[in-house]
Amino acid sequence: MLAGGAGTRLFPLSRVSSKQLQPVYDKPMIYYPLATLMSAGIREIHLITTPNDLPAFREALGDGRQWGVELSYGVQPAPGGIAQAVVIGESFIGDEPFTLVLGDNIFHGPIGLDDEVATFDRGAVIWGYPVDDPQRYGVIEIDQAGAVLSIEEKPDHPRSDLAVPGLYVYDGTAVSRAKDLQPSARGELEITDLNLSFLNDGELRAVKLGRDITWLDSGTHESLLDSSNFIAAIEKRQGLKVACLEEVAFHMGFVSAREIAQTIETMPGSPYRTYCERSILG
């Protein structure tokens, strides 16, 4: 899980705290991608952030045991691209398959990550989300079977409307592939180049997200506000919280009711605690 970067688009908010610790309605932004991983059954999680932000993430998340996960940390000394996270996480990854998610990406709805994790064998899997401004994103062209035909970074004339969200599943070869990448003109290891490496070997597949899925990138002031408004509307309408990690952990069987009760006891009196008591403990 990559939560690095300088957060320049969120200045001056990013002077106060990391972009990925900014509030998205009632929870820190990082809760949402963390919930995405946990909901797919992933329990070993490595969070990569900046040296300055590392203490704040440790304070906010701890070692993950309260949610039944093993949370470890790595450091990205300076912004070096998304693919650099794969190199930094080498000792955590080893030669095993892994999922990479960006800390400012919010997904709502059944994206199918759980199925991909359960059946994944080799190669790489990315997601495609239809947008009306694909020129702003990495764009993929796929066939009916989900095989990727092309991938371009912010093309002037996109071949499709499918943007690539910040969610990827790779086999263990991704580490050596990332090490072989050359920095781009902006001096970073680009995730598009890593995906192209798999594409050139015929090992890149895409999952197209449907109209029942919402993907939000919360890296600007406008998108951060949009994300908060979206989460607020969903929670107020349904009476259910999105990305309540205690609730996710309990329903996934990561923790028992007794363990959740102990975690709730450490919370201050708050609407969040009240929700956890009502929705989990009954």
Helical ranges in 9-122 per DSSP H = 13-16, 31-39, 54-61, 84-88, 90-93, 113-119
Give me the tens of pLDDT residue by residue for the chain, a chain 282 residues long.
999 987 888 889 988 999 999 999 999 999 999 999 999 999 999 999 999 999 999 999 999 999 999 999 999 999 999 999 999 999 999 999 999 999 999 999 999 999 999 999 999 999 999 999 999 999 999 988 888 999 999 999 999 999 999 999 999 999 999 999 999 998 999 999 999 999 999 999 999 999 899 999 888 899 999 999 999 999 999 999 999 999 999 999 999 999 999 999 999 999 999 999 999 998
| Domain presence at residue 217 | yes
Show the beta-strand stretches assigned E in the chain: 2-3, 23-24, 27-28, 44-49, 70-75, 98-101, 105-108, 124-130, 138-142, 148-153, 162-163, 167-170, 204-208, 214-217
Half-sphere exposure for 217 (CA within 13 Å, toward CB): 15
What is the end-to-end Cα distance of the chain in Å, rounded? 32
| Domain presence at residue 119 | yes
What is the reported pLDDT for 145? 84
| Domain presence at residue 279 | no
| Domain presence at residue 76 | yes
Q: Prior bond to 134 cis, omega within 30?
A: no
Contacts of 249 (CB under 8 A, 6+ apart): 38, 66, 67, 68, 69, 255, 260
Buried b (16+ CB within 10 A) or exposed e, 34-51: bbbbbbbebbebbbbbbe
Half-sphere exposure for 211 (CA within 13 Å, toward CB): 0
* Ramachandran assignment for 158, one of left (phi > 0), alpha (psi -120 to 50 degrees), beta (any other): beta
| Domain presence at residue 256 | no
What is the reported pLDDT for 217? 86
| Domain presence at residue 274 | no
For 134, phi then psi, to 5°, come to: -60, -15
| Domain presence at residue 138 | yes
Give the count of domains, the chain.
1
Tokens of 50: 């900046």
Q: Specify the residue for token string 């994206």.
A: 111
What is the reported pLDDT for 89? 98
Q: Under a CB-based contact definition with an 8 Å cutoff, are residues 77 and 45 in contact?
A: no
Tokens of 84: 């650099």
| Domain presence at residue 155 | yes
Q: Under a CB-based contact definition with an 8 Å cutoff, are residues 94 and 202 in contact?
A: no
What is the reported pLDDT for 184? 94
Rounded to two decimals, the pTM is 0.96
Q: Under a CB-based contact definition with an 8 Å cutoff, are residues 170 and 97 in contact?
A: yes
Q: CA 274, CA 244: separation in Å to the nearest integer?
A: 12
Q: Specify the residue for token string 């890593």.
A: 194
Structural domain harbouring 149: 2-243
Q: Which CATH number covers residue 210?
A: 3.90.550.10
